Structure 1
Amino acid sequence: MPTTHSLTESLFTADGVQALDRFLIEDQGVDGYGLMQKAARAAFRQLMRHWPDAASVLVLCGAGNNGGDGYLVALNALRQGLAVDCIAVADPQKLSGDARRAWRDAEQAGVAIRQWQAVAGDERIRLFDGSPVVVDAMLGTGVRGQPRAPFDEVVRQVNASGCPVLAVDVPSGLDASRGVAEGDAVKADVTVTFIGQKLGLLTGEGPHFAGTVIHDTLGAERAPADFPVEAVASLAGWSRCREWLPPLSRSAHKGVFGHVLVVAGDRGFGGAGLLAAEAAARSGAGLVSLATRPEHVAPALSRCPSLMVRGVVHGNELAPLLEKADVVVCGPGLGQFAWGEQMLQQVLEAGKPRLLDADALNLMAHRMPVVSDEQVITPHPGEAARLLSCSVAEIEADRLAAVRSLQQRFGGLALLKGAGTLVAAPDQLPVLVAGANPGMATGGMGDVLSGILGAFMAQATRSGALSLADGVVLGASLHLAAADSASRSKGSRGLLPMDVIDALPGVLGAAETRVEEARVATGEVSDD
């Protein structure tokens, strides 16, 4: 996972972003009001991009610089001929500094500003009913906890109105550091965020409340070399990670791409192992073996005859399979009874690089805790809570802290599933895999991820062209990209794990074409 100082790839807490703002203004001599004007213009551009037919806008302004941004958005809208309703949710007389200047400039330019308390109840409803878009500039990154009155009331009214919402910097009520809403929070369609990326917009509840996140650095493309605040994570998505795919040699053979052994599928859960094994095969593993209950062998071969499927009853039957494997994926549908315990014990004793998921993690939590630098664990929040002996709410309250704790406690790499998947590796900055797809909220999607990761772990182990950490991030981003591709053709409701597997070759093929075209363009290879 490459380190980066790029502000488009670095993620900060709310405190970190505020420190960056102060550093630019106080130490780098950047004009604070100029930055506020840039932010307002950027927000207004996105408003017109997403709602080009809007003839009017309702702008809700709070205290502090977020409110200042809102007043200047209202000013930009007025100058562009839009009808503007501008509501001061906080008393503008109490503003100071750049925010006060923004309020004064908007007022002097003719923006009609009314205080929320002065707007009667029926008129408040008409304000929202008559507005094609609402701009939320009430509570910025520095606000913690539940919105207080009157902000809580306004937030509820925004959400109840059904109006499209553009949030300025962060949706009001969302914790920009952790991605949680402790009370009411604005449900935005688009969030335009500035300078430093906020971790909380992209993980946990962040994607739900922030909608489409648009990041504008306002011209500050890189963090200053002497900036005293470190990023807390880096950002990776398929558009970035696909560039890590090693070029395919024309003389490659199956041994180059590694042998993945999937140990999975107790009685009644045969599909889990098959999903993981087929996903590994579709993600470029050279060889894939599946060790499962004997009764699952025939259905597995019927579905995917390229797999090597072995029925196993006792743990000692795994030995010859483990010996041949480069990487072991263990856990999907493993069960928590004697058969699964035997299989997991053999996998742990083999000492091969391994990925542990699902019931392997549940067994670890209750019976077999194990620490190893040779493993990747991939829990969802419920499994993470069991591994860390806490509640799911505690995991979701601070996902970054949770993934760090998992890595420190169990060694190797930890991947915490969910919206804004997080990956932690030793002595490296955690990585957030950007994106969320509600269609993935169905049984079996995690099994597909396990297989994809197993394939890239095997390729990393055999070729050395990828580090293990890069392979895991690459696999997680591919999983999401394939789900997004499948959703575009089939929709998110009713999306099945098999749909994601079927989309893998197309997504990988498009990436390979892109890489090859880039190599031709740079003269690295000939197109003859």
Structure 2
Amino acid sequence: MHRITSASPADLFGLDASRRIEQASAARLPPHALMRRAGLAVARLAAALAPHAQVIWIACGPGNNGGDGFEAAAQLARRGFRLALTFAGDETRLPDDARDALQRARAAGATPLSQPPADYDLAVDALLGLGATRAPAGRMASWLSRLYDDSKPVLAVDLPSGLNADSGTALFDLGPGSAGMRHCLSLLTLKPGLFTAQGRDAAGEVWFDDLACSPAGEPPTARLAGAPATRLRPHASHKGSYGDLAVIGGAPGMAGAALLAATAALHQGAGRVFLGLLDASLPQLVAQRPELMLRDPHALALADLTVVCGCGGGNAVRAMLPDVLAQTPRLVLDADALNAVAADGALQALLAERSRRGAATVLTPHPLEAARLMGGDTAAVQQDRLAAARALAQRFGATVVLKGSGTIVAAPDGVPVINASGNARLATGGTGDVLAGMIGAGLAAGLGPAQAASEAVWRHGALADAWPSGQPLTAGALAAA
């Protein structure tokens, strides 16, 4: 068992893949062995989280997730913990493994109660796990409201109840969560839904135990990125070794967005950075960053550059896009450039054509921009972020960075990556421009689009994770960091 951190690379398996792995693992083991391993893992983590607990409440549901809870109760009772075991289900309809675990719990002295305890020190959510198909109601909904009210710590078994293993959407309002109050032990496989959409708030700190079973050749649904390797620069290198990058954006009133992207590219290590402002009345802006070179965006040699286009572009960026899409060998499209493409079929055709000629493209939409590109709405994108990112990547032949909690990087022909670094400090204006500049610097240095995007997304989040407590994070400070 180990705790999953933002630096931990890992394979993720969705609902169907997890069930196939579970069935194959159970078939290789003696009867009930897999559930007994799972319950033991839950008991060990519960004991480690609350070693001096006076009462541990274990809330069990009607399926195998409840069986894991029963087995955990048996193990904890044998270790001398005082338990309040509750069961929301019909004992006669329990699966065989869960019925065996309930008998073992009773034999250890843990008899199911009809109501939760008045007080407890740790709660174990073993209500639904992978089995959630509809919103909990009645007694189960009441118990969930209490489990996740954050007045006491909770340990979810496999998944927080009602959380979709694939998408991270929740069938029940589990709330935002408080630091240190929520834990989730993912069993046998790590699930994508724990790391994107509502998953991170619902799960809190994620732990993993593979129960000494392997995926047995099952391909992953997605991957956690993990920390990128540090690359040392050869002593015998020069600025040309790390590429020329141009930022095109900064329409009237929005020049700061382009400056943020250019500053981030500079600090991320691009060899030379040109700033092509669409508002030509602000040459003094570059005085803030004398390393940047101001250029007329229409005079840029696009065929020789990596371009980040759209940051603060407004409506003015639309006129630049046909040339940018047709000529630029390495391109990051952000913000207003994405909105312009979404509204123009001819630009969409130019974008799709880039992949056919081998040009590298990274799109960096937030959910609303992704919805516009797909001709849908934001709720549909957020309902299945992995599917939305994959669909956009395949439609345009580009690497897609779908921003948000658990940012997703999807390439047209690869396993999507979910990023586990970052926090809500990034929810402030301009941080997306910083990310676009960081991705552009990776492209300029010769990284492929998926690698440049994944590494920049992780580093962008890691900067926020390491930000000094109590010190506000602004996009300008982030860009310079």
| Length-normalised TM-score, structure 1 | 0.83
Q: Give 2:73's aligned residue.
A: 74
**Deviations 1:433-461 (CA, angstroms, capped at 9, x unpaired):** 2244111111111101101100111112x
Give the superposition deviation at 1:391.
0.8
2:166 counterpart SS class: coil
Give the superposition deviation at 1:345.
3.1
Structure 2 residue identity aligned to 1:151: M
| Greater alpha carbon shift after TM alignment, 375-384 vs 472-481 | 472-481
Q: Give 1:22's aligned residue.
A: 23
**Deviations 1:52-99 (CA, angstroms, capped at 9, x unpaired):** 442321110111111011112222222232221111122334323111
Q: Hey, what's the Cα distance between the residues in 2 that align with 1:318 and 1:48?
A: 65
Structure 2 residue identity aligned to 1:200: G
Q: Hey, what's the Cα distance between the residues in 2 that align with 1:161 and 1:407?
A: 38
Q: Give 1:359's aligned residue.
A: 336
Give the superposition deviation at 1:399.
0.8
Matched, 1:143 2:132: yes
Q: Hey, what's the Cα distance between the residues in 2 that align with 1:435 and 1:46?
A: 24
Give the superposition deviation at 1:8.
6.7
Equivalent residues in 2 for 1:148-187, closer than 5 Å: 148-160=137-149, 162-185=151-174
Given that residues 179 and 199 in structure 1 are in contact (C-alpha distance below 8 angstroms), is that contact kept between their aligned partners in structure 2? yes
Q: Hey, what's the Cα distance between the residues in 1 that align with 2:326 and 2:71?
A: 64
Give the superposition deviation at 1:13.
1.4
Q: Hey, what's the Cα distance between the residues in 1 that align with 2:341 and 2:302?
A: 20
Structure 2 residue identity aligned to 1:257: Y
Q: Hey, what's the Cα distance between the residues in 1 that align with 2:166 and 2:94?
A: 25
Q: Give 1:380's aligned residue.
A: 366
Given that residues 261 and 311 in structure 2 are in contact (C-alpha distance below 8 angstroms), is that contact kept between their aligned partners in structure 1? yes
Query: Which stretches of structure 1, 4 residues or more, deviate above 6 A after TM superposition?
Result: none
1:295 counterpart SS class: coil
2:329 counterpart SS class: coil
Given that residues 55 and 82 in structure 1 are in contact (C-alpha distance below 8 angstroms), is that contact kept between their aligned partners in structure 2? yes
Whose helix fraction is larger, Structure 1's or Structure 2's? 1
Give the superposition deviation at 1:193.
0.3
Q: Hey, what's the Cα distance between the residues in 1 that align with 2:25 and 2:383?
A: 30
> For this pair of structures, how many residues does the alignment match?
460
Q: Hey, what's the Cα distance between the residues in 2 that align with 1:436 and 1:284?
A: 21
Give the superposition deviation at 1:161.
6.2
Give the superposition deviation at 1:468.
2.8
Q: Hey, what's the Cα distance between the residues in 2 that align with 1:38 and 1:404?
A: 35
Q: Hey, what's the Cα distance between the residues in 1 that align with 2:421 and 2:463?
A: 12
1:182 counterpart SS class: coil
1:289 counterpart SS class: strand
Structure 2 residue identity aligned to 1:19: R
Given that residues 59 and 135 in structure 1 are in contact (C-alpha distance below 8 angstroms), is that contact kept between their aligned partners in structure 2? yes
Q: Hey, what's the Cα distance between the residues in 1 that align with 2:478 and 2:182?
A: 26
Q: Hey, what's the Cα distance between the residues in 1 that align with 2:55 and 2:428?
A: 41
Q: Hey, what's the Cα distance between the residues in 2 that align with 1:483 and 1:10?
A: 24
2:414 counterpart SS class: coil
Give the superposition deviation at 1:111.
1.1
The correspondence for 2:319, drawn from 336, 342, 359, is: 342
Equivalent residues in 2 for 1:51-450, closer than 5 Å: 51-115=50-114, 119=115, 124=116, 127-128=117-118, 130-160=119-149, 162-185=151-174, 189-220=182-213, 222-225=214-217, 227=218, 230-238=219-227, 242-243=228-229, 245-292=230-277, 293-302=279-288, 304-310=289-295, 312=296, 317-325=297-305, 327-336=306-315, 339-367=316-344, 368-369=347-348, 370-371=351-352, 372-373=354-355, 374=359, 375-450=361-436
Given that residues 263 and 480 in structure 2 are in contact (C-alpha distance below 8 angstroms), is that contact kept between their aligned partners in structure 1? no
Identity level (%): 36
Given that residues 178 and 199 in structure 1 are in contact (C-alpha distance below 8 angstroms), is that contact kept between their aligned partners in structure 2? yes
Change (3 A) 1:287 1:31: farther
Q: Hey, what's the Cα distance between the residues in 2 that align with 1:435 and 1:66?
A: 29
Change (3 A) 1:8 1:307: closer
Given that residues 362 and 449 in structure 2 are in contact (C-alpha distance below 8 angstroms), is that contact kept between their aligned partners in structure 1? no
Give the superposition deviation at 1:51.
3.2
| Greater alpha carbon shift after TM alignment, 467-476 vs 441-450 | 467-476
1:294 counterpart SS class: coil
Structure 1 residue runs of 5 or longer lacking an equivalent are 1-6, 461-465, 504-528
Equivalent residues in 2 for 1:504-519, closer than 5 Å: none
| Length-normalised TM-score, structure 2 | 0.90
Change (3 A) 1:160 1:434: closer
Given that residues 422 and 464 in structure 2 are in contact (C-alpha distance below 8 angstroms), is that contact kept between their aligned partners in structure 1? no
The correspondence for 1:472, drawn from 453, 465, 468, is: 453
Given that residues 8 and 215 in structure 1 are in contact (C-alpha distance below 8 angstroms), is that contact kept between their aligned partners in structure 2? no
Matched, 1:481 2:458: no
Given that residues 162 and 170 in structure 2 are in contact (C-alpha distance below 8 angstroms), is that contact kept between their aligned partners in structure 1? yes
**C-alpha root-mean-square deviation of aligned residues, in Å?**
2.0
Structure 2 residue identity aligned to 1:209: A
Give the superposition deviation at 1:208.
1.3
